[in-house]
Every structure is written in C-alpha cells, then in structure tokens.
Amino acid sequence: MIVTDKIKLTSKELFKILLTNYLRRRWWQVLGIWVLIIYLLLRSTTNPFDYFIIVALFLLQGVIIYQFWSFATSKYETLLQERYFEMDVDKIVGITSGGVSSTYENRYFFMFTKTRRYFLLFTNRTDFIYLPISSFKSSEDKEWFEHEVIMKIK
C-alpha cells in the first residue's frame, strides 16, 4: 500500500482541468463554431442575421466558460479540501483534513487522463480523482501506481 503527500486543489487548477477536459472531449464542436464565425465574418455579403448568429455563438462559448469558472470558484468545500490518498491493489481511499474518508474501488474507474503534472481517474464522465504526480513520495510509488492501478483501467 502507498500513501501520497497531502494534496490541495485550488480553484484555478480546477478551472483549468475542467476547461481542458471539455476541450479534449468537444474540440470538434469548438472548432466548428469558430470556423462558422470566421466564415460569417469573411463573407462578402453579410446581413443582420449573420451578426446575430456570430454574437449568439460568442455568447454560447462565454456561457460555457462562465459555468466552469463559477463551479470552480464556488465554495464547494469537499472538492477543494486538502486530502491525501492511501492506495492498494483493490481500492483508493481519500482522506480529507477533517478525517472524512471516501473509498473508490479500482474496478469502477473506467478512464484516466495523464498529463505532465497530474493523473485524473474518472469514476463517470464528470467525476474524477485528481492526483498530482508530485504527490507521490517516490518514483517507485508512482511506478507501482501506474502498474497496479492505471494499467488495469480499461
């Protein structure tokens, strides 16, 4: 069993993670919106309805970003509390600074994302566990985690 260092997720990091995950899943939609905006702006003949569509598409993007920002900066205590994780072959237990624990069985993780700075383990399409790579106490712990947990996620 391995234990991570304490992890404190900030609102800024959460906003970046939410926005990055959205763009990874919906890049084609965002690209399509921007292609349409550019097309409408560069047409030789424009009418007032074109400008209405352009403004609506800008507002749609703004609303999505605002939703992520408002969620990340809200006082959602449980997500932003300092915590550490205890991991074994079957489960991951997150323990907050208040002593509240949450148990996640490894068989319920269906997807993961790895970046240079962190792992995200998804229990469903929107809920995830945030594990910074720097939270592992040694490179052996990180390798064990990658072999015993990450490699078993389908």
User: Residue 77, CB half-sphere, CA atoms under 13 Å: how many?
Assistant: 4
- The CATH number assigned to the domain with range 2-7+78-152 reads 2.30.29
Distance separating alpha carbons of residues 16 and 24, to the nearest angstrom: 12
pLDDT digit string, tens, across residues 6-56? 999 888 999 999 999 899 989 999 999 999 999 998 888 878 898 899 999
Q: In whole angstroms, what is the distance from residue 129 CA to residue 86 CA? A: 13
| pTM across the whole model | 0.82
Cα gap 31→47, rounded to integer Å = 23
Tell me, what's the pLDDT at 76?
67
Q: Where are the domains of the chain?
A: 2-7+78-152, 11-73
Q: Average the pLDDT over 130-141 and give the result.
A: 91
